[in-house]
Each structure stands twice: as C-alpha cells, then as structure tokens.
Amino acid sequence: MNSRIFLLNYGCAVNRAEGEAMAGVLASRGFTIVDSEDDADLVLVNTCGVKTPTENKILHRLKNIRRDKEIVVAGCLPRIIGVNRILEVRNVKGVIGPAAGEEVLKAVQTVLSGGRYIRLDGGDFNNLLPCLRENPAIRRIVISQGCLGACSYCATRLARGRLRSYSVEEIVTSIRRSVKDGVREVWLSSQDNSVYGIDRGSSIVELLEKIAEVEGLFLVRIGMMNPRGVLNHLDGIVEALKNKRFFKFIHIPLQSGSNRILEDMNRGYSVEDFARIILRLRKEIPKISVETDVIVGYPTESREDFEKTLEALRTLEPDFLNISKFYARPGTSASRLPQLPSKIVAERSRILSKLALEIKEKRSSAWVDWEGLALVDEKGIVPVSLIARNMSYRPIVLKQNVEIGSFIRVHVTSHKPNFLVGEVVDKDLDEAEVIRLLEKENHASISLS
C-alpha cells in the first residue's frame, strides 16, 4: 500500500535536518510525503524540547491532530519530558527519539500495521541518507550530535547526550552530492560547532579547510559555536571565515553580560572572552555579521546582573540578537532553583527587546546604498517577495521575480531593523561573473582599509 505521510518538522537546524532525512527515507521506500494532514494516513511529528513555549505549542498541535490519523512522535521532546507525558496528551502508537534515520521506517510500518513502536535509543541518522529538503536551495548538514558542555539550564544535552562527531569524509561527501543536486547554500549544524571532531582527533578548523576545497557554486553558513570552543580555535576560525566559500557570519551565544551569571550557568567563559572574540573578528573581517543569544531572567539574575547584560550589548552591538525568557526545563539543575517572578522577567525582556531593536536599526542602516552579490535563498513572508543573502548573510527583501537558488547583483534601497530592502540590478549572471563577484566581495569583507 502506498501510504501517505505528513511531516510536522519543529526545532533547530539539526532537528529539521533529521526530519528531512526521515522524509527522504520514507519516500525512498515507497511512501508518499504529502503537504496536508487531511491527505495523510499518518502524521510524523518531529519534536523540539528546548523551551517550554515550544513544548506547549507542540503538545497542543499533537492533541489536535485529527482522530482518524495514525501518529509517530520523534525528536528531542520524548527524552526531555518522557514518553508517559506524550501519551497523556495523545495515546500515540509510535514514539522514537532524536537522530532517527532509517529507524523511522520501522516505526511507521509497525504503526500502520496496527502495532506499537516505542523506542528512544535508536539514533541511526547520518548525512548520506536520502533527504527531502524543505528548501531546494539549502542543505542542512549535521556535523555532530550532542556537546561537551554541562549548562545548568539546557535540556537538549539531556536528549542528545555527549559529543559524537560525524566524519569529515561523510560531511564532505554529503556536501558534494548536495551541490550536484542543486544546493547553493549549506548550513553546518550541531549543538556546538566549535567542539566538532574532538572525539575523533579532528577539529572544526580541519573540517572547514576540507569543505573549502569542495568544487561548485555554493556558500556555507557556519552554525552556532560556543565561546569556550571558539577560543581554542580562534586563529583557524578567523582564517576559515576569510575564505570566499563561507558567509561572513558567526553565531556565538553570550547568554548573559554578567560573569557571575555565566558561572552560575556553567558556561565556561567570561564576558571578556566573548568580547575578545567579537573584537578580533570585526578587526579582521569588518563586514562580518554577529548573531548572539541572551537568556533573560535566569533564577539568580539580579538587577545589577541584568544591567551588565545591557551594557555588554550596548558596547558590542551584535547584528542579530535572539532573546529568550528563562524557562525551567525538566532534569536541569537550574529547574531546582527558586524562579524569578514572571513580572520581573517580562519587564526585563521588554527592556532588552527595545535595546535590541535600536542596535539592529543602527547596524542595518549602514547597508543602505550598498550594491553587490547576493544569493536568493527563500520566499519572504510578504506575498510575492523573496529573500536574498549577501556575503554577510544580511537578509534582503526583493519584490522582483527571481529564481530561488540564483546569484544576483542587488542594490539596497532602504532598511528595517530586521532586514534590508533591495532591487535586483542583474539576475542573469553567468558562473564566471558570480565567481568574480564572490572574490571581490570576499576581498572587500576582509580588507582592513
């Protein structure tokens, strides 16, 4: 029987990559992946458990899936809140853990045959599995599972475990295949890219050097790296980012501007360490875009600690800032601490959001009248709009009709805090011209003049 599967894919780039692989495995074995729950025989829910609001959203969606549909739940959430909590919300017949690759086939076949399949320790994902990409131009590559940290607030490490890196050969082979299949943008994803390869006698720098040698017309976005790991490889990471293969973009979480809170969080670095990384990167790659994360309302955060976070952000001015209110997650040491009143957390979140908007407004405005190369990589939220990314991974909203996955010359006409607005100058670039412009943009982005 050609059964139909509808995938609900939640979470970080790693989790979504695993969802794409599960869809690819099922499609390769004769299942049809459909775009609507109504058209499906079975709904595959690939869950995330990083935050309480995300958990609540997923459980609400799970509860409201049509009663005539079979369901398999996958991902991090069952390991974080437990299978019994899932079954309280919906008496599903299939539950599997994160990093499920071909195991999803057993779960789906068992459930569709009337049986039960509940197993959380499969984890047979790899990057060479068939893949149905959500975006045909973008390939998410998972370079490792787990991490080496022990952050007091993080439940993802409880779901994913200790560091397990995929081989350089597997990653490079997957990228080569993807580029031949039309991919133009590769995301290197994990819980912490900076510690890649430590368990294999390798390193993130070695991996980046090997990726830079892959032939083809594509660009690479390096995913999140924690400051402690970056410090161990700072020279090599800076040199890698100077290569024209990589977007001039880095995502390094600060989490707090107070060293006392960073110590309570067990983060393993100081605010001064974070600043040293950012200042070094901006000195050598002036156009680099810096994204960071901040948790507001950690249980031991005082008003003074919060003011230190505001001061650090005013000083360092990250281009992109992700703000998360603290939520106590099951099994974490921070969940056992007395929580701050929600009113205080909400107030601090509002103050932080206002500052973030001011910083983004300032840094976005500097790009008005810029003209150069960009890669069209996704549809916009506004109807009949597309988004292109320049070499600094700045999103540029376009109204003209251009093909996703194409390289264009674009002129930035205006800005908003969260994106730039541009007009297409040339959409008919041949490969030689794209390469010439890449080299020009890369030289400009690392120039110290």
Query: Which residues have CB under 8 Å from 284's CB, separation 6+?
Result: 238, 242, 446, 448
**CATH 3.80.30.20 placement within the chain:** 138-365
Q: Are 267 and 311 in contact (CB under 8 A)?
A: no
143 with 229: CB under 8 angstroms? Answer: no
- Unique residue bearing structure tokens 């251009």: 402
Q: What sign does the dihedral 332-334-338-339 (CA atoms) show?
A: negative
Rounded Cα–Cα distance for residues 63 and 79 (Å):
18
Cα 123 to Cα 30, 103, 153, 336: the distances in Å are 22, 8, 24, 30
**434 phi/psi in degrees, rounded to 5:** -60, -45
Q: For residues 75 and 79, what is the distance between their CA atoms, to the nearest angstrom?
A: 8
The string of pLDDT tens digits covering residues 57-93 is 999 999 999 999 999 999 999 999 999 999 999 999 9
Fold of 138-365: pyruvate-formate lyase- activating enzyme (3.80.30)
CA 282 to each of CA 356, 365, 383: distance values in angstroms, whole numbers, following the listed order: 19, 18, 35
1's CB contacts (< 8 A; 6+ apart) are: 112
CA 29 to chain centre: 28
Q: How far is CA 91 from CA 87, 103, 315, in A?
A: 5, 20, 51
Indicate the class that CATH gives domain 4-119.
alpha beta
- pLDDT the model gives residue 75: 97
For residue range 311-365, list pLDDT tens digits in order: 999 999 999 999 999 999 999 999 999 999 999 999 999 999 999 999 999 999 9
The CATH 3.40.50.12160 portion of the chain extends over 4-119
Tokens for 136? 């045909």
b/e sequence 224-241, b meaning 16+ C-beta within 10 Å: bbbbbbbbbbbebbbebb
Please report where in the chains the tokens 């017309």 appear, as a residue.
Answer: 217
Q: What is the three-class DSSP state of 174? A: helix
Q: CATH assignment of 371-446?
A: 2.40.50.140
In DSSP notation, 114-126 reads: T--EEES------
pLDDT of residue 440: 86
**Tokens 């999803």 identify what position?**
104
Burial zone of 386 (CB within 10 Å; 0-12 exposed, 13-18 middle, 19+ buried):
buried
Instruction: Report pLDDT for 229.
Output: 97
Measured over the CA atoms of residue 290, residue 220, residue 284 and residue 275, the dihedral's sign is positive
HSE, side-chain direction, 13 A CA sphere, residue 190: 28
Q: What is the pTM of this model?
A: 0.95
pLDDT in the model for residue 381: 81
Q: How many CB atoms lie within 10 A of CB 114?
A: 8
8 A C-beta contact, residue 140 and residue 183: no
Cβ–Cβ < 8 Å for 258, 300:
no
Q: pLDDT > 70: what percent of the chain?
A: 99
The neighbour count for residue 431, using CB atoms within 10 Å, is 10
pLDDT digits (tens, 9 = 90+) for 425-443: 999 999 999 999 988 888 7
The chain-wide mean pLDDT, for the chain, equals 96
Instruction: Read off the pLDDT of residues 125-139 as tens digits, 9 standing for 90 and up.
Output: 999 999 999 999 999
Residue range 5-60, pLDDT digits in tens: 999 999 999 999 999 999 999 999 999 999 999 999 999 999 999 999 999 999 99
Report how far residue 214's alpha carbon sits from residue 217's, in angstroms, rounded to the nearest whole number: 9
Beta-bridged to residue 142, according to DSSP, are: 189
Domain with CATH 2.40.50.140 in the chain: 371-446
Q: Which residues pair with 139 in a beta bridge?
A: 186
